[in-house]
Structure 1
Amino acid sequence: MTRPFREQVDEEILDRAAELFAQHGFAQTSLKALAEAVGLSKAGLLHHYPSKEAIHEAALDMGRAQARRVLDDVSRLPAGPGRDMRALELLTDVALERAGLVSLALRPITVPGEIEEALDVDDVLIHEMFAIDPADQGSERLIRVIGALSSLAVLSLTANHHGDKTTWRPRIIATCFDALGHSRTGTSSPGSDQLED
């Protein structure tokens, strides 16, 4: 087995496992369910990762690494609509490729009662990516970013399961950009003309 193939298999395992963790939470996701989801026996899954905890941590690490790559790209841009758009484009691309990882990374934002964990653990990435003042916890900007990221998580999962990713991508980005409160001058939402029928 070549190294790139092994890495691809591991990424697919982690993405599918991350989706289950995001949907059901760590405690409610069994090793058996993880193995079935990735098409392996429990022993086969444990050959790749020694425990459910190791799978969970590896999935979180992989999601953080993706977020850091996005942050590295957008950090050179000034705060504002251009930076927000670029972050949303990159995050959407990651989410359409690895929806489970993005859903797990954003779970604390999308699950009631877990928001404090999200803002404590990965707040640096979220705050830096979207140029939010960490001290401003009740700001409209923070609420809009949470709304945009929640939309991104839900829409990318739906696109991966039921949609055509090429069709969904610009609509996901537009929806999230709108959630941030930016106006797209001279444009209407993709497909909005179809809503008036």
Structure 2
Amino acid sequence: MARPFRQQADEGILESAAALFARRGFAKTSVQDVADAVGLSKAGLLHHFPSKGALHAAVLAQAASLARRVLDQVGDADPGPARDLRALEVLVDVALAHPGLVALMLAPVTDLGAEPERAVTDVVLRVFGVDPDTTEPPRSVRVVGALAALAVLTLAAHAGDRTTDWRPHIVATCFDALGHGRAGAPSRPDPLET
């Protein structure tokens, strides 16, 4: 079992590496970039992860674990507003706690060609019942829009140290993006359905 300090250090490295991989891509992120971001020397970083490939694999494994945790917490609930709301609540909590990993998980939502990260993103899309190859465009667009909003808003909340204050508003905004609206909010017809 890893010592608490080592585990905490590794989690910080993974979080920073994920944010850099999300922003720059794997090929354009160097070991030195990650080392600089976490305040280690290159040799110190390589003591934790022996190569850039090993670091990337660990980041993807951590992101996949978080995505599966979200899917497990949503469970076998029937598709619909209640499942979507639960999924958003869990995803927002994960995103607020792990902004770098969530940025990496959701980056392929806008670039579905991003290869190893796409597998992680596909798990997140499954939380909402979306298969990028078969789901009808209106649902796919709403889910991608909600996830993009979730990513941007949680990163902004985290950067501005507003995670607690913004959480309910982020969930409500993403729920609206899914087309469910909020109780008491004026309803408007979907322009595609009129």
Common topology (TM > 0.5): yes
1:1-150 correspondence runs (5 A): 3-110=3-110, 114-117=111-114, 121-122=119-120, 124-133=122-131, 135-150=133-148
Task: Give the SS at the match of 1:136.
Answer: coil
Equivalents in 2 of 1:45, 1:39: separation in Å?
A: 9
TM-score, normalisation: structure 1: 0.85
Q: Is the 8 A contact 2:142 2:178 kept in 1?
A: yes
Q: Is the 8 A contact 2:132 2:140 kept in 1?
A: no
Aligned to 1:185: 183
Structure 1 runs of 4+ aligned residues shifted over 6 Å read: none
Q: Which runs of 5+ in 2 are unaligned?
A: 187-194
Aligned length: 185
Equivalents in 2 of 1:30, 1:116: separation in Å?
A: 22
Task: Provide the identity percentage.
Answer: 53
Deviating more after overlay: 151-160 vs 36-45: 151-160
Equivalents in 1 of 2:179, 2:140: separation in Å?
A: 11
After superposition, the Cα gap between the structure-2 partners of 1:124 and 1:153, relative to the gap in structure 1 and judged at 3 Å, is: closer
Task: Give the SS at the match of 1:27.
Answer: coil
Equivalents in 1 of 2:42, 2:123: separation in Å?
A: 34
After superposition, the Cα gap between the structure-2 partners of 1:9 and 1:156, relative to the gap in structure 1 and judged at 3 Å, is: same
Displacement of 1:171 in angstroms is 1.4
Q: Which runs of 5+ in 1 are unaligned?
A: 189-197
- Report the RMSD for the aligned CA atoms in angstroms: 2.2
TM-score, normalisation: structure 2: 0.86
Equivalents in 1 of 2:2, 2:61: separation in Å?
A: 23
